[in-house]
Each structure stands twice: as C-alpha cells, then as structure tokens.
Structure 1
Amino acid sequence: MSGPLAGIRVFDLSRILAGPTATQILGDLGADIIKIERPGAGDDTRKWGPPFVKDAAGHDTSESGYYLSINRNKRSVTLDVGKPEGQEIAKRLIARCDIFVENFKVGDMARYGLAYDQIKYDYPRLIYCSITGFGQTGPYAKLAGYDFLAQGMGGIMSVTGDPDGQPTKVGVAITDIVCGIYSTVAILAALHHRQVSGRGQFCDMSLLDSQVGYLANIGLHYLTSGEVPKRLGNEHPNIVPYSVVRCADGFFILAVGNDSQFEKFCDFAGVPQWAKDERFSTNPARVRNRRLIYQMINELTEKQPQKYWIDGLGALGVPVGPVNNIDQVFNDPQVLAREMKISMPHPAAGSGHVDLIGSPVKLSETPVDYRLAPPTCGQHTDEVLRELLSMPDDEIRTLREKKII
C-alpha cells in the first residue's frame, strides 16, 4: 500500500454517497478503508440501477454503476452492528482504526453503543466523522437528510434552471459529493491536529451546511446587496456574455471574462462597433443590457457552425467550448490524457474489468494508487477478521451461521 495516507485505517460505516465519497478519496490517497455492510443486503446503492455490471452471460449482477462510482479502494466486511456480538466486533475493529466515518441519523449510533461520546475515552486518538442531513445541533438535527432536500433548502435550486421554468436540481447529487469532499478536508485537518497533539476529535458534517457553504458568490450577492438572486438559466449573474449561445449546428459556450475578450469576440464576429457602443463597451453596461446583447449575439452566432466559433475564438484567447454529452466527455483527448477514465479488474464482470472515473488529485511525489476495484458485498470479511483480529476460522464460521457477519 502506498500514498500519503498509507498506514491510516478507516472504519467506514457509511453508505449511499456523501460518506462513501469521503472514504473513496481517503482510499485513493492510500488509507485502508474497511467498509462495513449489512449481511445479506450491503450498501443500498448496490441495488440502485440499472445499469448493473454484466456477467459473462450478459446478465445483470448485483453491482450497480452507482455503487461502483464511489467505492473503489475499499475492503468490504459484512457485520450486523444492530446485534450485541456485532457491536463488540465493531469496537474491536475500531480499536485498530484511526478514523471512523458514519452517516446515520442523529442518535442512531447511540443505540448501537457506537456514538462518539460512548467510545471517545476508550479510543482517545480516534477521529470520528459523522455526516448527517442537518448536523448534530439545531432544530432540524433529528430529521433525515437527502441530497435533493438539501439542494432545495440550501438555495441552489432557486438559482438553477430556466427563468420561466421550475427550480431545478443539479444533474448529479452535488450536495452529497461536496459534503463528502468537505468531510475529507475536515478529516485531514483532524489527522494533522492529532499528529501535533496526539488527540482525536469529532467532525460534525452536514448536507445543509455544505450546500450553504458552496453558495459562494451567489450567497454573497444576497448578503452584500440584500437582493435575492434569481434563476438565469445558463447565464452568469455578474458577467455578460457568459452563457450557452446558438450556432448553425447546435450550441457552444461563450464565456467572455473581460472587456478585452469582448472586443476580440466582436472583431472576429465582424461587428467591431459593438465593443464601442456605450450599451456594451463595459461589463457593467452589458449586464444592464443583457437581454438585448444576448439576442444580438445569438442572431449572429447561429449563422456559423460550432467549429467555426470554437476554433476561431479559441485561437484569439476568447474562452469558448462545446457542451459535451457524457460519451463525448469520456472520449475527449484531454480527459483521456489526464487519466480521468480508468479500468480495473473486477470478479463479477464478464469482461474481467470495470471502467471507472479516475481521481482528479494529481500528486507528484505520492500519486493516487488504484489498488482495489469496488468490492463485492462481504468480499473481504474473512480476510479482515483474520488480519486485524486474529480471528480463527471456526469463530468466523460460527458468526456467519448466526448471521452476525
């Protein structure tokens, strides 16, 4: 095992997306992730399909594409923490771990004797990360949280979508993913603190906090001005032109970031007078006259194909690009050159391998290490119990008969 987190072990009692996103990042960086799953069921997302991995006969397996997306570099152990024997084994495993990640509702871990306050004195170096919908405090703390609800409650849907249409969620479960990334940052900070102080700590992470946290300039638009931002479709609230525009064979993105770029666009488009027109010569003026300038731009750009605009404007340093479908993304030469599409051996796949999304983390001295494909449910139970707890085979067999594992 290699990577900057080699030697770090994680007791991963998370499922669905936010927690597994965090633990996959930690696993990619070299941590040993012990993924705890329910015997006979496993992570809920295993069943979130189609699509599923196909076996040699072309039939669906129990491995969904959703599950594969965030469970690389983990070892799967089936363990029923709802039973006293399972809780005892969990504590023995936690004693061998540096980090505990869970994303159950507030109070659930206490029922199993695994809440932070119940175990922190036994494991003072443990970093315990709890991911919930709304955090451990506040009036919503005990409510269940979901990405879709957090997107709605946290404001992002109110500024996403067509101005005349419905509020729209982001096409991926962005709040879960961002919460997973924030959780990784918190865990890494806690690891650094432990290195200095010798003490672990509790990381209280929530979907709603994460959603509000990445409102960024949109949130500050309101906090600074008191004006409530509205949906603008693909347009930018503070920069014009910065949107999807029409071309003869579809659409392209025109992302003019300053007045110089706008002047270059106008010269290339054959309308240099626009850059001198007081209605459009500065970005604030273009923002005030956004409806008119977008109408004029679209009437102009739809006369030429996408390649004309992307090649011509790109050569002048004007930011432009296509709106790719997902198949085009994973065939893009830049995406392939950056190894954002990878393939790993998988025992359930009839082809012998599964394609996965690579890590965006590029480190010169300690590169990401792709060691383990997303595991089948309970694939490493015996291995982990033998390795970490020195558990004999007859005890493992008895636990399996009693459905503890």
Structure 2
Amino acid sequence: MSGIRVADFSRVLAGPHATMILADLGADVIKIESPEGDGTRQWSPPVNAVGQSTYFAGVNRGKRSVVCDLRDAEGLARAAEIARTADVVIENFKPGTMEKFGLGYEELAAQNPGVIYCSISGFGDAAGKDLPGYDLLVQAVGGLMSITGEQGGEPMKVGVALVDILTGLNSVIGIQAALRARDTPELPTAGRGQHVKVTLLTSLLSALANQASSTLETGVSPTRMGNAHPSISPYETLDASDQPIALAVGTDGQFARLCEVLGVAELAQDPRFVTNPERVANRVALRAALEVPLRSRTAEEWITAFTASNIPAGRVNSIGQAIELAESLGLGVIAETPAIAPDGTTKTLRSIATPIDFSLTPPHYQAPPPGVGEHQGATWLPR
C-alpha cells in the first residue's frame, strides 16, 4: 500500500481498525481528529507504557494525527485539502454529516475523481440513516445475540465488539478492490474512484454464514445452544475433571478415534451415534455418555492423548494464554513499536500484529499510536 494516502475521518473502532491495517501495509494514514481527539483516547484504564488508552492504542498505530475542527473555517479548509489530495477517504459519521461540511463523496469526487471514498454506517444511508450504529445494538437487532448464550438463558453479546471488527475488515476489502479497479489500465474503471459503503448490519448478516443460510432455506431461525453446534456433534465444550475441553469432532472417523481414546469404543457402534446426523439428533445422550470417562482425567491429560490421535481438541484459554500459545507456535502475533513516554524515556509498545503473513511485503510497525495533533505542523501535509 506504499504510495497510497488515506484521509481518515473515522473514530472509535470499525474505521480505525480498517485504517490501522492499511497503515501496517504501508499506506500513509492521516488521522483527522477534533480538538478533543478520538473519543477512545479517554476510554481508560487501562493505559499503555506512554499513558495512552489501550483501547485507542490497539487500533491506531502507524498513523499521523492532525487536528481539524470541522466547525471552524480554517480547520474545515485544512481537512478538505487533505481529502482532496488523498487516494482514500474513510468516514463513519452519521449519514449526511460529511455532506453538511462539504466533504461528501459527490463534492470530493468532483475535485478528486480518483478518490476511493469509504463510508461506514450502522444501517446504511437510506431508510436506516437515523438509526444508531452501535455494535451492541447491531448484535441485538442483527440476530447474533439470539444464537449466543446458554440454551434457555438470556441472549448474550460476544465478548468483544466483533461486528465493528468485521465491518473494518470488509472496509479494507472494499477499499483495496476499488483501488485495483481504479489503478488497472485494462479495466473500464481505470482512473475512476468510487463510493464504497459498508454497514454493520450487513457485515454481521454476512458473517452469520451457515446460521443465516439455514434460516433463509428453512424459514426457521436458530436458537441459543450454548457452545454446541447446530449441525455437528460432538462439537462443543465438555467437562474434564478440572476444566472444560473444546472438542471439534467433525467426521465419523474422528468420532471413532475419540471413543477409542476415551475407552468407550462401543459408543462408535451405538445406533444413536454411528453417523453425524444421528449424533446431532441424540446430542444430549451423547454428551452425557462422553463426560463420564472425560471426568476421570484432567483436561491437559486428555488433550495430549487426543492430539496424539489426531482428534481436534483444546483447552479454554484466557486471552493471555492464547497470546502465549500463538507466540509458542512462532506466529509472530505481537507487534512492537518504540514510543516516547511523557518523561522523555523510550518505551516499547506491544500490540497484536496484523494477522496476514507476506513472503515479500510484510507489514511494518514503525510508528506508535499518535498523540492528538502530533503531526500538525508536518511540512508534507497539504496546506
């Protein structure tokens, strides 16, 4: 993405996550902030080694920060000039807000025909333009909470703002596809930018995958099943003597090996469990039958035995344990960037790296999350 300039008008999570990925891949991302800065700068504790909110720092590395108060003529003019010289403009204001400032797609495209303009919203810019686009609300109205939680229990949200993250990823995909359409001479779209629109609701519905597909085909909406899978069994967490084990048994062969390792090989020949559809139909009885031998040993003992027999299983890790696992596997999950602390000392900030491995053009993590307006006087910025 080197040579691509991004004017980033986004705040909070979906947009900043997208532009951080673009920055990791080499784009020049200019984060345009209000005088107060991105609201997540105040979402603390916890804070990192240089006193920044870890929420803000987690999605804003590699960017430059410029304060442009859009309510002020000078600030608005500076923001407009940055947008007019950008390859990509990304924003997640309430639909219609950028137009009020003269920074909408049509206005900018008239001056910058090649601009890729990405708008992120909760529910689109038509009938849903006035609906509040918050991750929790979209998890609720988009159906995710209806399938998350224990059977018979209350609906639950996922433990992170997952819809925002999915929307950010879709934004990156859309931006990159639009750049290719613009920059490929053989295509009829060569030289032309376009308006890329991404919504939280459609991003969630797309990510519901098999659950949405089954609903469309059967007319029946799935319900909460705890950690169980609607179409595979055993594909859930089961209790060992000390803690749960995640078992992802997706084939009849894996199930037969599971029963053998557990010392209950006869279960694989039980008419109720011979094939996956039968196991799904009798999942309650199957779970009860499997947990009897499982409770005789610890999770670690079972996982070692299962792994040796090529049975997919794992313990339920904390986030810290998950990071340790990734590092032990050599996945390079931690990105480190130097940063200057308020006392003038140099600190090393750690964040989760972009999860894509390239053989020739790996991501770079050279710049820490910026301070508010840290690059205000940079001479390379348009004036």
The bucket for the TM-score relative to the shorter chain is: over 0.9
Identify the range of structure 1 (10-19 vs 78-87) with the bigger mean alpha-carbon deviation. Answer: 78-87
Would you say how many aligned residue pairs link Structure 1 and Structure 2? 376
Matched position secondary structure for 1:120:
helix
Equivalent residue number for residue 84 of structure 2 = 95
Q: Supply the distance in 2 between the matched residues of 1:194 and 1:144 (Cα, whole angstroms).
A: 32
- 1:17-61 alpha-carbon deviations (Å, 9 max, x no partner): 00001101111111000001111x100001111101255xxxxx3
Q: Supply the distance in 2 between the matched residues of 1:49 and 1:134 (Cα, whole angstroms).
A: 29
Does 1:179 find its partner at 2:172?
A: no
> 63, 85, 110: which is aligned to 1:121?
110
Equivalent residue number for residue 339 of structure 1 = 332
Q: What is the letter of the counterpart of residue 237 of structure 1? A: P
% same residue: 42
Shift of 1:281: 0.6
Q: What is the letter of the counterpart of residue 165 of structure 1? A: G
- 1:349-383 alpha-carbon deviations (Å, 9 max, x no partner): 76712211111011111111112111111111111
Any conservation in 1 of the 2:239–2:245 contact (CA below 8 Å)?
yes
Does 1:29 find its partner at 2:17?
A: no
Unaligned runs of 5+ residues in structure 1 are: 56-60, 392-405
Any conservation in 2 of the 1:120–1:126 contact (CA below 8 Å)?
yes
Any conservation in 2 of the 1:96–1:388 contact (CA below 8 Å)?
no
> 313, 321, 328: which is aligned to 2:306?
313
Equivalent residue number for residue 351 of structure 2 = 356
Does 1:18 find its partner at 2:14?
A: yes
1:3-402 alignment, distance < 5 Å: 5-39=1-35, 41-54=36-49, 61=51, 63-137=52-126, 139-196=127-184, 197-332=190-325, 334=327, 337-348=330-341, 352-383=347-378, 386-389=379-382
Any conservation in 1 of the 2:33–2:66 contact (CA below 8 Å)?
yes
Matched position secondary structure for 2:29:
strand
RMSD, aligned α-carbons: 1.4
Q: Measured at CA, do residues 377 and 336 of structure 1 come closer, stay the same or move farther in structure 2, by a change above 3 Å?
A: farther
Q: What is the letter of the counterpart of residue 281 of structure 2? A: R
> Where do 4+ consecutive residues of structure 1 move more than 6 Å?
none
Q: Supply the distance in 2 between the matched residues of 1:91 and 1:43 (Cα, whole angstroms).
A: 19
Q: Supply the distance in 1 between the matched residues of 2:225 and 2:346 (Cα, whole angstroms).
A: 45
Shift of 1:302: 1.1
TM-score between both structures, scaled by the size of structure 1: 0.90
Equivalent residue number for residue 403 of structure 1 = none
Q: Measured at CA, do residues 333 and 33 of structure 1 come closer, stay the same or move farther in structure 2, by a change above 3 Å?
A: closer
Matched position secondary structure for 2:65:
strand
Any conservation in 2 of the 1:235–1:244 contact (CA below 8 Å)?
yes
Q: What is the letter of the counterpart of residue 119 of structure 1? A: L
Any conservation in 1 of the 2:88–2:117 contact (CA below 8 Å)?
yes
Q: Supply the distance in 1 between the matched residues of 2:77 and 2:259 (Cα, whole angstroms).
A: 70
- 1:212-232 alpha-carbon deviations (Å, 9 max, x no partner): 111100101111222220101
Any conservation in 2 of the 1:330–1:336 contact (CA below 8 Å)?
no
Q: What is the letter of the counterpart of residue 277 of structure 2? A: P
Any conservation in 1 of the 2:259–2:268 contact (CA below 8 Å)?
yes
Q: Supply the distance in 2 between the matched residues of 1:191 and 1:335 (Cα, whole angstroms).
A: 37
Matched position secondary structure for 2:78:
helix
Q: What is the letter of the counterpart of residue 372 of structure 1? A: A
Q: Supply the distance in 2 between the matched residues of 1:9 and 1:296 (Cα, whole angstroms).
A: 59
Q: Supply the distance in 2 between the matched residues of 1:232 and 1:175 (Cα, whole angstroms).
A: 20
Shift of 1:295: 1.3
TM-score between both structures, scaled by the size of structure 2: 0.95
Equivalent residue number for residue 187 of structure 2 = none
Matched position secondary structure for 1:77:
strand
Shift of 1:142: 2.2
Q: Supply the distance in 1 between the matched residues of 2:54 and 2:23 (Cα, whole angstroms).
A: 19
Shift of 1:255: 0.8
Shift of 1:95: 2.4
Q: What is the letter of the counterpart of residue 172 of structure 1? A: V
Q: Supply the distance in 2 between the matched residues of 1:263 and 1:19 (Cα, whole angstroms).
A: 46
Q: Supply the distance in 1 between the matched residues of 2:328 and 2:170 (Cα, whole angstroms).
A: 24
Any conservation in 1 of the 2:116–2:179 contact (CA below 8 Å)?
yes
Q: Measured at CA, do residues 116 and 333 of structure 1 come closer, stay the same or move farther in structure 2, by a change above 3 Å?
A: closer
Shift of 1:335: 5.5
Q: What is the letter of the counterpart of residue 321 of structure 1? A: G
Q: What is the letter of the counterpart of residue 357 of structure 2? A: K
Q: What is the letter of the counterpart of residue 42 of structure 2? A: K
Q: Supply the distance in 1 between the matched residues of 2:205 and 2:81 (Cα, whole angstroms).
A: 37
